[in-house]
Amino acid sequence: MTPRRASLLVGVLGAGVAVAVGLLSGSSTSAARLLAVGLIGMVVGVTVTLASPTFVYAALGFTLGGIPFAVIPGAGPAVLLLAVAVWAAMLTHPPPVPRVRGLDVMVALLLLVSFASVTVSATSGVHVTEFLKWTVATSLVFPLLRLDAVDLRRFGLSYVCGAVVGGGGSLLLLFFDRTGTAISVLSPIGYGNTGIIGTTLRWFEVGGTSIRRLAGTYIDPNVAGIFLFLGFALALALTRGWIRIVSSAVIGLALIATLSRSAILSVIVALAVYLAFQRLRTRTRVIVVTATLVGAAVALAIPAVNTRFLSSFSSSDRGTSDRARALDNFLPSMDGHWLFGRGWGAREFIDEVAGYDANYVANTPLLTLYRGGIFVGIAFLALLLTAVIIAYRRMRSSTHWQAGVIGAAFIGFLLVALQLDFPVVTNPIVTMVFSAFLALLTVNPTPLSDDTAVEPDHAQLQEVPR
């Protein structure tokens, strides 16, 4: 869209909204006034999207990394709305030479097969609504892959900033908010809801003792682990100097404080994959191994972390036993649903109590099959295989230590988090994090000093001042 057309569209829209707001502001009903505020927000959002799409990319990155469950009053989840805005920005400011990658094809195939599945399995409007939210989150891959080098790296850095703010703030809540009420200060954007358990605090019990877990702006500790895991990887891959030290330290400490076994083990496995496949100079390898051993020693020296992991091997660990029972029940639960699954709007996905009673399998590939059927499951596995190949190529593309960080992180995430947890399937906002992960993995906007060691189409991503 040309600047002249954009200005004309904003002008016409602004004039119409001005008239509507003038009429609505005289109303005495709160609904009308809320609609007036919404119309003002709409014209501001359209103006920003058309005039400065870079701000939209950065806003999505920051919100997704720091306050992912923020809600815009009267409109819905902020990140879903920002995802739509990113699509609008990409369509109005298209790339000069669009390129279709293998990952584009795999995601498109997953979307098409899922659409076919939901047309058969949907029994109510809830299925359609949940499918549309999942589609918006999954399709975020497409506009992100079409950002230029600077904008995609800015998106990643904005995510890191958000994770530092969200992780740091959540640490403060963990240490100083004993009642779980402080987060209510964010109630205007949807935080502070205590849900069915009656509190925003999260903990686990072992030996009759309750140990607090970090949740904060991420609501759930295991979900927090996923958001912070990506933030930690991006802090290492995209930042430099003291910024890298501070950001990775804050995010890493917050990640450990979640006591999420899947997230912490994902970090450990990612480090093992990194050391096994990343091309490193001997000196760099020694530094990485030393840092890994020191970090592991510090983490295990924390009593809560030590207890959390040691209890995992106990027969009394409830999470482990629940996962085992869910796996045993997986095949019987699929009877009659192998082709098209149980649907996106199945009661166990949208009702917390029903989900607890159903105890569905805590494994992302299997749960994808459970929800969408065998063809959706195969398409998802094909997507994961494509991403693993990309990740391996990233680790072998350069001897610079940052080159393979995102690739190793993805493989660690795949081998552990996706096998032990399910929010990537059941929660559209977590699905969006996974989509961003895939886009950043594919392009790998890491600033390297050895430009000749990368693929030609990514050369512009590696240009750094000398």
Q: Tell me the pTM.
A: 0.86
List the structure tokens of 309.
């992991």
- What pLDDT does residue 319 have? 66
Written as one letter, the residue type at 29 is T
Give the H or E element holding residue 299: helix 282-301
- What pLDDT does residue 46 have? 55
- What pLDDT does residue 181 have? 87
Of 208, 129, 188, the closest CA to residue 428 belongs to: 129
Give the H or E element holding residue 298: helix 282-301
Domain ranges across the chain? 3-100, 107-462
Rounded to whole angstroms, the maximal C-alpha distance in the chain is: 72
The dihedrals phi and psi of 60, each to the nearest 5 degrees, come to: -65, -45
- What pLDDT does residue 306 have? 75
Whole-number Å distance between alpha carbons of 404 and 392:
8
- Contacts of residue 372, defined as CB under 8 A and 6 or more positions apart, other chains included, come to 113, 114, 117, 118, 121, 340, 341, 344
Q: Is the dihedral of CA 38, 44, 49, 53 positive or negative?
A: negative
Crossing angle, helix 102-121 and helix 374-396, to 10 degrees?
A: 160
Distance of CA 239 to the CA centre of its chain: 19
Whole-number Å distance between alpha carbons of 165 and 159:
10
- What pLDDT does residue 15 have? 43
The single residue listed with the structure tokens 């032990």 is 420
Whole-number Å distance between alpha carbons of 14 and 7:
10
Per run of 10 residues, the mean pLDDT along the chain (length 466 residues) is: 47 42 44 47 52 84 95 85 88 78 95 96 91 94 89 94 96 90 89 79 76 91 96 95 94 93 92 89 85 81 76 63 82 90 90 81 93 96 96 87 91 94 92 96 79 40 40
- What pLDDT does residue 12 have? 42
**Do residues 126 and 419 lie in contact, with contact meaning Cβ atoms separated by under 8 Å?**
no
DSSP label of 183: G
- What pLDDT does residue 13 have? 41
* Residue 7 CB burial class (10 angstroms; 0-12, 13-18, ≥19): middle
| Number of C-beta neighbours around residue 356 at 10 A | 12
* Residue 55 CB burial class (10 angstroms; 0-12, 13-18, ≥19): middle
